[in-house]
Amino acid sequence: MKSSWKALFVIIGIVAMLLSACTTESQLPASDETIETSTVEEPKSEEEPIQENKFICSLTGIGVEDETETKYRPIAVMIDNEVSARPQSGLSAADIVYEMPVEGNITRYMAIYHHGASEKIGPVRSARPYFIDKALEYGSIYVHCGGSPQALKDIKDLRIDAFNDLVGTPVFWRSTDRKMPHNLYTNTRLMREVSSSKKLENKTAPQYFRFNNDFVVPDGGNGQNIVINYDKNYKVSYVYNEQEKVYYRKINGDNMKDKETKEDVKTTNIIIEKVGLKVIDKVGRLEVSNITKNRGYLITGGKLIEIEWSKTSRNGKTIYKNMNGEEIIINKGVTWIQIVPEYVKIGFGE
């Protein structure tokens, strides 16, 4: 009798262990994120099929109505950020926006357009090689007006699909309310039309980030207010809005607004990449150390965590990892990526 009871307890123990192992395993993908597991996992609950029917933008993680919007090829547009170019138009329609230094103690933007539409984008400015390095990561069409000698050589040598106003691609116009070179504009409709007619819609957007299923406030330091002192005359800051779960963007202390819609420019995620910088010619053009690894920050949900970014080749994707070596998972929404020289002071706090 005694020994059979013992045997029964052992069996119960084993069954309990197996059950707990199964539970842990099946819970893992759900708490992580959907994209990687959706092909292997069979629907287990009523929620699963609903997720499968959603069309998800791979650059923002946002669900969109029309599947064709998720199939668009990304378009990277170089946007002027000199004083005469502000306020800019159409930045809010981009999925991802980069800001990087250029000669003249100022920065330039490169906005990645995908499912969003805008009737006016610009002012469009010239190409730089280190922006091309990022545009290549998306397989994007690169949109610019001229460029540095190296950038123009790169576009030719690497056979990059590009729309350049200086060679007359019919996607641009000059506005009359601003002076050259701060008055060149484009829009998503014209760019998509030319892209289709030139048969360039042959690439779709990569799965650029991993996204949290539900909004996650990271376990990090205080990231309610971020100040990036690019130059004594140029300061970018972000202020977190707890209700909207987004950051409002400011230039020299004033809210950044779209020239056309007058709406505030906002973002869900901010990534800061620290970089080495070198002046390479008499004009003051820069070389940015972006094919290497360095530190940075992920800022979302009012918190910030330290990260390490790495990039091993010009078209290789930049990988962002937390300090435990795990790839970061960001919140669904727009991301602004700030490329910041190591010497630039960054302020954090409430």
Q: How far is the CB of 277 from Zn ion (least distance, A)?
A: 30
Q: Does 332 bind Zn ion (CB under 5 A)?
A: no
Cβ 316 to Zn ion shortest distance, Å: 22
- Using CB under 5 A as the binding rule, whether residue 192 contacts Zn ion is answered as no
Tokens of 332: 């669904």
User: CB 86 → Zn ion: shortest distance, Å?
Assistant: 25
Identity of the residue, 115 or 249, whose beta carbon is nearer to Zn ion in the bound complex: 115
Stretch that binds Zn ion, among 80-88, 107-115, 140-148, 251-259 (CB under 5 A): 107-115
Quote the CA–CA distance of 252 and 83 in Å, as a whole number. 11
- For residue 197, how many other CB atoms are within 10 A of its CB? 10
The terminus-to-terminus CA distance of the chain in angstroms comes to: 68
Binder of Zn ion out of 56, 59, 77, 275 (CB under 5 A): 59
CB nearer to Zn ion: pick between 203 and 293? 203
Number of residues that bind Zn ion (CB under 5 A): 5
* Shortest spacing between CB 62 and Zn ion, in angstroms: 7
Q: Is 249 in the site for Zn ion (CB under 5 A)?
A: no
Binding of Zn ion by 114 (CB under 5 A): yes
Minimum distance of Zn ion from residue 147's CB (angstroms): 26
Count of alpha carbons within 13 angstroms of residue 74, beta-carbon side? 24
Q: Nearest distance from residue 97's CB to Zn ion, in Å?
A: 13
Question: By CB under 5 A, is residue 108 in contact with Zn ion?
Answer: no
When asked if residue 56 is in the footprint of Zn ion (CB under 5 A), the reply is no
Instruction: Tell me which residues in 22-41 interact with Zn ion (CB under 5 A).
Output: none
User: Does residue 57 belong to the site contacting Zn ion (CB under 5 A)?
Assistant: yes
Q: Residues 60 to 99: which contact Zn ion by CB under 5 A? A: 95
The residues binding Zn ion (CB under 5 A) are 57, 59, 95, 114-115
